Amino acid sequence: MYMRIYGNVNLVLDWDKNFSLISIKSESKKECDSNVEYMGLASKGLIRQIFANSNKMQYFYVYSYFSEKEQYSLILNTEKRFRLFLSLLKVQQVGPKLACQIASTFEDFKQFADVVAKNNVKELTKVPGLGNKKASLIIWHFSREQGKELLELVKDQGGLGVDAEKYAGLLNALVALGLSRSKAKLLITQKQKELADLLGKNKDADIGQQLKIVLN
């Protein structure tokens, strides 16, 4: 599942050679709601840019990954990068962390599309941890299977329309129905595309409509 939050950087800690653990303190737009702190991993390539705006409120995009072996959240700082990240997740052999690294390296879809169009493997391997073989696979994938989608991403400047308040409301509603929080998060993750489509068409879609999608 992914969500958009509005806040600023509260804490940055070293995590490993490619990522830092950061804390985002969100600011609710509703007076009755309390602020929430989100923890996630951000590519070290983005930290300098994030620090440049660390005293300013801004939007962040948080993607939560769950599996039997591990669970973590990844954070990106612009919608264009986040949409590229979501597109990269469709490529075989590209996991969330690598997709995050690639999306963090490129400013937007157009920069990435130029690399694909020029078959510029060398430029793509500047991404930490990405070798020639997998870089070639990614370029092949976007030049063939997802070529049309990438062109649409370059042209399309529309919004994702997914935010933390809607996610939290849906999660709480599922828990109120008797589901555990882990099960509720898993169900939301499995239906993230359908939910994004619903909220993209109708930002005011109520909890009942969202529950119908998740529980279908």
In terms of average pLDDT, the best of 19-23, 147-151, 203-207 is 19-23
Q: Within this chain, do residues 4 and 57 fall inside the same structural domain, yes or no?
A: yes
Q: Within this chain, do residues 94 and 151 fall inside the same structural domain, yes or no?
A: yes
The mean-pLDDT minimum among 91-100, 155-164, 176-185, 200-209 falls in: 155-164
Task: For residue 119, give the 3-state DSSP assignment.
Answer: coil
Mean local confidence (pLDDT), 9-16: 86
For tokens 């510029």, the residue is: 120
- C-alpha 49: how far from chain center: 17
What pLDDT score was predicted for residue 181? 77
Query: Whole-prediction pTM value?
Result: 0.67
Which has the closest alpha carbon to 79: 175, 2, 26, 187? 2
What pLDDT score was predicted for residue 100? 94
- pLDDT tens across 141-153, in order? 887 766 666 656 5
The set of long-range contacts for 122-128, using a CB threshold of 8 Å and a minimum separation of 24, is: 127/98, 127/101, 127/102, 128/17, 128/18, 128/43, 128/44, 128/45, 128/101
Q: Does 27 score more than 80 pLDDT?
A: no
State the average pLDDT for the chain.
Answer: 81
The mean-pLDDT minimum among 23-27, 100-104, 156-160, 212-216 falls in: 156-160
Q: Determine what percent of the chain is predicted with pLDDT higher than 90.
A: 19
Report the CATH number that the domain containing residue 13 is assigned in CATH: 2.40.50
Q: Which of the listed residues 136, 155, 174 is the one where a domain comes to its end? A: 155
What pLDDT score was predicted for residue 155? 54
Are the beta carbons of 24 and 60 closer than 8 angstroms? Answer: yes
- pLDDT tens across 81-139, in order? 888 898 888 888 899 999 999 999 987 777 888 888 888 999 999 998 899 999 998 88
What pLDDT score was predicted for residue 31? 47
Q: Does 33 score more than 50 pLDDT?
A: no
Q: Within this chain, do residues 96 and 53 fall inside the same structural domain, yes or no?
A: no
What pLDDT score was predicted for residue 102? 93
Extract the tokens encoding 103.
């999306």
**Domain carrying residue 196:** 161-216
Q: Which of the listed residues 155, 177, 195 is the one where a domain comes to its end? A: 155
What is the total count of domains within the chain? 3
Extract the tokens encoding 23.
């804390």
